[in-house]
């Protein structure tokens, strides 16, 4: 099987990458201009992806550019940790409680399936 890319497709792909790279650069510049310490800490915290790191960010920057993101990430990490603990449970109450506490979890549908 051979993959053939026409010149117009190739140019379209290059334009897409160019637009994406420009977007990333503009976002990067925007955040650096608002508070370089906020931005720097957020980049480090995203790498660790732990509840304690996100809480540390919120303590230092309660109204920071990424405060809402930190709050969301805390819930996501909590949800993921909880799911790891209950995913093989035989107790349907575990799944009901999970769904009640984490209605936006990516595991919500899986928990729902466990109740069937």
Per-residue pLDDT for the chain (116 aa), expressed as one digit of tens each? 445 556 565 566 656 767 777 777 777 777 666 677 888 899 899 899 999 999 999 999 999 888 999 999 999 999 999 999 999 999 999 999 999 999 999 999 999 999 98
CA separation for the pair 95, 116 (Å, rounded): 11
Q: Which of 8, 18, 11, 70 lies closest to 41, judged by CA?
A: 70
Among 104, 98, 101, CA closest to 84: 98
End-to-end Cα spacing for the chain: 44
Q: Where are the domains of the chain?
A: 1-34, 37-114
Angstrom distance (rounded) from CA 55 to CA 61: 10
Instruction: Please state, rounded to an integer, the average pLDDT across all residues of the chain.
Output: 85
Is the separation of the CB atoms in 53 and 69 below 8 Å?
Answer: no
Whole-prediction pTM: 0.67
Q: Which residue has the tokens 């349907």?
A: 92
Query: What pLDDT is attached to residue 1?
Result: 47
Helix (H, G, I), strand (E, B) or coil at 14: helix
């Amino acid at each position: 099987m051979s993959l053939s890319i026409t010149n117009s497709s190739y140019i379209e792909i290059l334009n897409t990458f160019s637009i994406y790279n420009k977007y990333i650069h503009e976002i990067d510049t925007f955040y650096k201009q608002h508070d370089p310490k906020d931005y720097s800490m957020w980049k480090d915290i995203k790498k660790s992806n732990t509840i304690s790191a996100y809480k540390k960010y919120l303590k230092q920057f309660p109204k920071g550019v990424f405060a809402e993101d930190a709050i969301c990430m805390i819930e996501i990490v909590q949800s993921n940790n909880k799911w790891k603990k209950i995913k093989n449970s035989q107790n349907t109450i575990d799944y009901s409680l999970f769904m009640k506490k984490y209605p936006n979890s990516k595991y919500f549908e899986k928990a729902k399936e466990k109740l069937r």
